[in-house]
Structure 1
Amino acid sequence: MLLQGIHHVALICRDYAQSRTFYHDTLGLPIVSEHYRAERESWKLNLALPDGSQLELFSFPSPPPRASHPEACGLRHLAFRVADLDRVIATLAAANVASEAVRTDEYTGRRFTFIADPDGLPLELYEMASPC
C-alpha cells in the first residue's frame, strides 16, 4: 500500500481559545506544539492522539461557517475510538458536553454516539475494545 495511516486532521476554529479548551482540557488531548503565525493572523495548535496521529487546530480571521445541516459534500464527521463509551459519555456530561442517544452500528454491532465541538463539527465516539 502507498498510504500507511492518517498523520493528522486539520480543523479551522471560529473561536480558537474555546476550541483549544475543548480539545485539550475537556477531551484531554496533549499539546505537541502551539505557534502564532503573525503573517496569517493565525494560531496553529498540534494535539497528540494516543495512536501517534495528531489533530491540528487553526484560527483564521472570520472563517466562513461550516455547512453541516443538511450534510454538505466533504468531511462528514471525525470519529474517535474509545474503550468505554459509557464512561466517556459520563465524563463529558460532567463537563456539560451533551451527546446524542447511543446507537449500534448495524454492520459491526459496536456502539457509538455523537457530540459536537464548539463550532458544531460532529465528533463520533466509537466504542472499540482496548488492545490487550
Structure 2
Amino acid sequence: MLPIKQVHHIAIICSNYERSKWFYTQVLGFTIVQEVYREARQSYKLDLAINGLYQIELFSFPSPPPRPSHPESCGLRHLAFAVTDIDSAVSWLQSCQVTPEAIRVDECTGKRFTFFADPDGLPLELYEM
C-alpha cells in the first residue's frame, strides 16, 4: 500500500489572477504563504493557507481554456470546505456578492451544505461540521 499521509495541496488555474486572488483571500479568507511570478511561463503562483496549513496553489497562465462544470463530467467534481456555522458563512458570501445555492441536508449524514462557485465557475462547497 502507498504510504500517503494526507492531501498536500490543491492546484487551481484561474483566468483572471487578480480577481481570483481577491476571491480566495478576501472572500474565503485564505492567507498568502508565498506569491511568485514565473516570467518564463508568464504565470503567477500563489500559495494559500487555510488556518495556517498550506492547502491551495492558485496559478495564472495566459489564455487557459475554460473547464466545463455543467453538466457534470468525469474528473474532480468540487472542493468542499468545512465550516461550523453554515448560516453565517452563507450570509458572508452573500455580502460579498457571491450567490450560494439553497442550503440542503446530506441524506447520509444529516449535515447541512451548500454549493457556490469561484470566479471561474469552479464548484465549491461549504459543509457544516
Overall identity of the aligned pairs, in %: 59
State the 1:52 CA deviation: 1.9
Answer yes or no: is the 8 Å Cα contact 1:6–1:53 preserved in 2: no
The total of aligned residue pairs comes to 128
Could you tell me the TM-score, scaled by structure 2's length? 0.96
The answer on whether the counterparts of 2:47 and 2:54 sit within 8 Å (CA) in structure 1 is no
Structure 2: segments with no counterpart, 5+ residues = none
Paired amino acid for 2:79: L
The reply to whether residue 84 of structure 1 matches residue 72 of structure 2 is: no
Task: State the 1:51 CA deviation.
Answer: 6.6
Amino acid paired to 1:29: F
Report Cα offsets for 1:4-30 as digits up to 9, x if no partner.
111110000000100000000111101
Q: Whole-Å Cα distance in 1 between the matches of residues 17 and 54 of structure 2?
A: 21
> Scaled by the length of structure 1, what TM-score is found?
0.93
Which amino acid letter does the alignment assign opposite residue 7 of structure 1? H
Contact 1:100-1:115 at 8 Å conserved across structures: yes
Residue in 1 aligned with 2:94? 93
The residue type equivalent to 1:35 in the other structure is V
Q: What value does the CA root-mean-square deviation take over the aligned residues?
A: 1.1
Q: Which residue of 2 aligns with 1:74?
A: 75
Aligned equivalent of 2:107? 106
Give the drift of 1:38. Answer: 0.3
8 Å CA contact 2:33–2:54 kept in 1: the answer is: no
- 2:23 aligned residue: 22
SS at match of 1:43: strand
